[in-house]
């Protein structure tokens, strides 16, 4: 996987050291990509936890010293904070540096960060399609990006050398890299990530609010399917609030399609149209197989959850 072993960068600054930032630090160390990793958080508890793990060379609660002299600066905070972060750190960026991010939306990042990028700094947004439901500096691990895709959304006219360097960076972190138009990115992610999270959050909320079925029953019998949804509905609340507030248009468009299709299914159930149900349920099985064949999920039953030997 590692195609080159020379450090790509002298100093890399991670602005945010939660699940993604800390995983990136571990992956960079694994591949020897930076001579110095600087980690920033505005919270001193986060810095303390991160220092105890020790995945960066320096830790900062101020932006200026974190980014000073950095060859690559990666915004890895909730996207709603990007504008303010960029405004503050912009003046301290080194000419020739690459400014990138890991945000789940891309049009809003261009809108919020773009105006604060100084001349001579290469702004290249990025989005690694990887994560877990956990958050915080203790949840990161080096293998998070292995085999997953990272999408870069450079603007037309972006420096080709800088784009190639960032592409190499993500490949050496284990990812496959794709270049995409930012507006298209937001549409693709709305259906592959944002709407799935929304409906998972929604059904968990619905189940918790019922009067006719108790929360204890929902929990006990969750192995019937419900428990699968609770995993992504346990994802970081601030990160996901910011995703929905910042990809409004694409999420509402995809949600409209989802609702339209759900109404048709609802009608099929009401009128007993078994053929319509059977045909859909057969088609969807094939897509699962394609995802497993593409190496994007495990083929073992139940996501490879261990077969319980010692029941609770």
Binding to a second copy (CB under 8 A): which residues in 214-233?
215, 217-233
By CB under 8 A, residue 43 contacts a second copy: no
Please list every residue from 158 through 217 that binds a second copy, using CB under 8 A: 174, 176, 178, 187-189, 191-210, 212-213, 215, 217
Under 8 Å CB-to-CB from 191, ≥6 apart: which residues? 254
Smallest distance, a second copy to C-beta of residue 150, A: 10
Residue selected from 104, 112, 137, 166 as contacting a second copy according to rule CB under 8 A = 104
Encoded one letter per residue, x for contact with a second copy by CB under 8 A and - for no contact, window 233-252 reads xxx-xx-xxx-xx--x--xx
Number of neighbouring beta carbons within 10 Å of residue 229? 19
Q: Residue 288 gets which letter from DSSP? A: H
Count of all residues that appear for the chain in the document: 312
- Choose the binding region for a second copy from 7-15, 30-38, 84-92, 273-281 (rule: CB under 8 A): 273-281
By CB under 8 A, residue 81 contacts a second copy: no
Smallest distance, a second copy to C-beta of residue 96, A: 31
Distance, in Å, from the CA atom of 197 to the CA atom of 62, rounded to the nearest integer, reads 33
Please list every residue from 134 through 163 that binds a second copy, using CB under 8 A: 134, 139, 141, 143-144, 146-149, 151
Under 8 Å CB-to-CB from 126, ≥6 apart: which residues? 100, 101, 102, 150, 151, 152, 153, 166, 170
Q: Toward a second copy, which CB reaches closer, 47 or 195?
A: 195
* 14 within 8 A of 25, measured Cβ to Cβ: yes
Encoded one letter per residue, x for contact with a second copy by CB under 8 A and - for no contact, window 280-309 reads xxxxxx-xxxxx--xxxxx--xxxxxxxxx
Q: Toward a second copy, which CB reaches closer, 69 or 136?
A: 136
Distance, in Å, from the CA atom of 39 to the CA atom of 83, rounded to the nearest integer, reads 19
Cite the DSSP H helix spans in the chain.
19-31, 44-53, 63-67, 82-89, 107-113, 160-172, 182-189, 195-209, 215-220, 226-232, 237-246, 248-270, 274-293
Smallest distance, a second copy to C-beta of residue 222, A: 5
Q: Toward a second copy, which CB reaches closer, 104 or 153?
A: 104
Number of neighbouring beta carbons within 10 Å of residue 143? 14
How far lies 132's CA from each of 185, 236, 262, 273, in Å?
A: 20, 10, 28, 38
- Choose the binding region for a second copy from 30-38, 85-93, 153-161, 255-263 (rule: CB under 8 A): 255-263
């Amino acid at each position: 996987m590692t195609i080159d072993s020379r450090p790509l960068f002298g100093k890399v600054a991670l602005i945010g050291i939660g699940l993604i930032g800390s995983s990136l630090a571990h992956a960079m160390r694994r591949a020897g990509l930076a001579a110095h990793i600087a980690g920033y958080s505005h919270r001193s508890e986060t810095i303390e936890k991160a220092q105890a793990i020790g995945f960066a060379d320096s830790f900062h609660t101020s932006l200026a010293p974190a980014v000073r002299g950095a060859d690559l600066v990666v915004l890895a905070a909730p996207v709603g904070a990007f504008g303010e972060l960029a405004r503050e750190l912009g003046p301290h960026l080194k000419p020739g540096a690459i400014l990138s991010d890991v945000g789940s939306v891309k049009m809003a990042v261009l809108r919020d960060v773009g105006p604060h990028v100084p001349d001579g700094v290469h702004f290249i947004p990025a989005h690694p399609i990887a994560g877990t439901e956990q958050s915080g500096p203790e949840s990161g691990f080096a293998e998070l990006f292995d085999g997953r895709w990272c999408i870069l959304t450079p603007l037309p006219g972006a420096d080709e050398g800088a784009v190639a360097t960032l592409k190499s960076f993500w490949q050496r972190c284990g990812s496959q890299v794709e270049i995409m138009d930012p507006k298209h990115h937001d549409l693709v992610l709305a259906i592959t990530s944002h709407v799935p999270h929304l409906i998972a959050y929604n059904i968990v909320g619905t189940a918790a609010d019922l009067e006719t079925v108790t929360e204890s029953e929902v929990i006990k019998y969750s192995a019937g399917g419900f428990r699968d949804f609770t995993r992504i509905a346990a994802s970081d609340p601030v990160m996901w609030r910011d995703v929905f507030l910042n990809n409004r248009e694409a999420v509402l468009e995809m949600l409209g399609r989802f609702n339209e299709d759900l109404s048709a299914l609802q009608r099929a159930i009401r009128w007993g149209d078994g053929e319509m149900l059977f045909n859909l349920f057969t088609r969807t099985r094939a897509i699962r197989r394609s995802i497993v064949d593409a190496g994007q999920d495990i083929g073992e039953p139940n996501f490879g959850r261990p077969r319980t030997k010692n029941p609770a």
